[in-house]
Chains A and B, each alone.
Chain A
Amino acid sequence: DTAVSQTPKYLVTQMGNDKSIKCEQNLGHDTMYWYKQDSKKFLKIMFSYNNKELIINETVPNRFSPKSPDKAHLNLHINSLELGDSAVYFCASRGPTGELFFGEGSRLTVL
């Protein structure tokens, strides 16, 4: 069983569209994250939720809206997609000693 799973793995869409990425973890962790990795491989934190509560919001445009229906799920909805949103989005959950367990990533391409 995959510990942190994201869907979809690939997403190709037109500018202006709205899209969602889903994430689920079966590790029983309380804290989950969304990271954005750009073409230069830089990993930038976007959001963090602890037990369904938003605890970190890194001045991400409000076109990005995370939602956590329960502590095992953290979804990311993006409105009015722009070219600059093209990236790989990683979901992660935090282990007991602070290490992160990443999902396999969702590669978003905006045309």
Chain B
Amino acid sequence: GQQVMQIPQYQHVQEGEDFTTYCNSSTTLSNIQWYKQRPGGHPVFLIQLVKSGEVKKQKRLTFQFGEAKKNSSLHITATQTTDVGTYFCAGPISGGSNYKLTFGKGTLLTVNP
């Protein structure tokens, strides 16, 4: 079945350093979504990318969707302690009412102040 793979599993950085997490799908995705889960919290939707080669920015966060729509990345510039959490990518399987979002295993980011 379709899989969404995400690396790295863990990333520890010093505050101010950059961070990137990568997501790869075994099949072409209609869109890719990114979520952030703070420690002890719940996943919160960050963004959705739909177009091939799309790049979107949210302040220090930059999201990219690959040309083949099979891979994506999230880059954080100059991390802050508030960036701590697990970042998940997710891609949909099937269409219509059987919409199933498959999540990558997430990248846990810890930031040393």
A residues near B, CB below 8 A?
Answer: 31, 33, 40-45, 48, 50, 55-56, 90, 94-95, 97-105
- Interface residue SS majority, chain A: strand
**A103 and B106 alpha carbons, distance in the complex (Å):** 18
A-B contact count (CB 8 A): 56
Inter-chain contact A55/B98, CB cutoff 8 Å:
yes
Cα(A41)–Cα(B97), bound, Å: 27
Q: Which one of B97, B100, B108 has the highest number of Cβ atoms from chain A below 10 Å of its Cβ?
A: B97
How far apart sit A31 and B98, CA to CA, in the bound complex (Å)?
10
Besides A43-B43, A99-B33, A100-B90, 18 other A-B contacts (C-beta < 8 A)? A40-B105, A41-B106, A41-B108, A42-B105, A43-B88, A43-B106, A45-B101, A48-B98, A48-B99, A90-B43, A95-B45, A97-B48, A98-B101, A99-B48, A100-B33, A100-B45, A102-B43, A104-B41
Q: Please tell me which one of the listed residues B42, B48, B102 contacts residue A102 in the complex, with CB atoms under 8 A apart.
A: B42
Question: What are the residues of chain B within 8 A of A94 when measuring CB–CB?
Answer: 99
Contact (Cβ within 8 A) A48 B100:
yes
